[in-house]
Amino acid sequence: MNDSLILEVADFEHDVLTGIYSEETGRPQPLRFTIKVRMKPLDHYDADTPLDDSKNYMDLKFAASDALPEGVHFKLIEAVADHVCETLFLQDARVEAVTVKIVKLAIAEAGEKIGITLHRERRE
């Protein structure tokens, strides 16, 4: 069995231009992101292991917020998740896989969680 390191940012909310219905287009809607990144870990982490030997989890938030192109309307949240995955793969060659879960908050009627989960392995 191989070791792996999973970095995670859970339940991060950000407004994104997305949707296919007329009431969704033209204005951002709130999405809730949970992003997991799998990396190969070091053999051992000491108390003074530098951050460069891992990945800053703030990069995960960046991929789902500031890295999304401003003014671009994503018809599908699948495309938002795809963009997040590609951003994280481009940021760091050590990223082996990315999982992005997106919940569309604006369409819930009774607190249900409606959305998608996209898992991508690095393609060589």
Examine the pLDDT at 95 and tell me if it is beyond 90. yes
Residue 102 backbone phi and psi in degrees, to 5: -125, 130
Confidence of residue 6 (pLDDT cuts 50, 70, 90): very high
CATH for the stretch 5-121: 3.30.1130.10
Percent of the chain at pLDDT > 70 equals: 99
6 with 37: CB under 8 angstroms? Answer: yes
Residue 34 near residue 13, CB atoms below 8 Å: no
Sign of CA dihedral 88, 89, 93, 98: positive
Parse the chain into domains and list their residue ranges. 5-121
Average pLDDT over every residue of 88-111: 92
Query: Helices (H) and strands (E) in the chain — how many of each?
Result: 2, 4
d(CA 3, CA 11): 26
Q: Looking at residues 65-88, what average pLDDT do you find?
A: 96
